Amino acid sequence: VFGPQRDMLEVARNFAHFFAHESCGFCTPCRVGTPLVAGLLDKVAAGHAGQQDLQTLQRLTGVMRGTAHCGLGTSAGNPVVDTLTKFRHVYEARLRVGDASPAFDLDLALARSRELTHRDDAHAHLSTLWP
């Protein structure tokens, strides 16, 4: 069905988006879990994910499998689990070298506040508080 030219990460992403769209929303594991899985796969595909995201995918799909109400929710993670097991190199090839890509830069978000308060000293930056 899938030849060597197919990108197995894209196959898993396609399934993940399908399951997220088809979820009826009755149970939380499926209603919340399927969009999270799809989003994490998008993050991997975009090259913004780290090893911790792969671990999160495995944990999340395990929770869905064990707690979802119907067959859709319990099987929605199967394409991810299978491709992570059999084609892990496809995922790892797209991971960031550094291991993490923050989704939000709080120090950057506070730049406007520093400007408004006319405070741009070292103590007004988070990098000096948490190096």
User: Over its length of 131 residues, how does the chain's per-residue pLDDT go in tens digits?
Assistant: 778 899 999 999 999 999 999 999 999 999 999 999 999 999 999 999 999 899 999 999 999 999 999 999 999 999 999 999 999 999 999 998 665 555 667 677 778 888 888 888 877 776 655 44
Cα distances (Å, whole numbers) of residue 115 to 111, 112, 121, 127, 131: 6, 5, 11, 17, 22
pTM of the model: 0.74
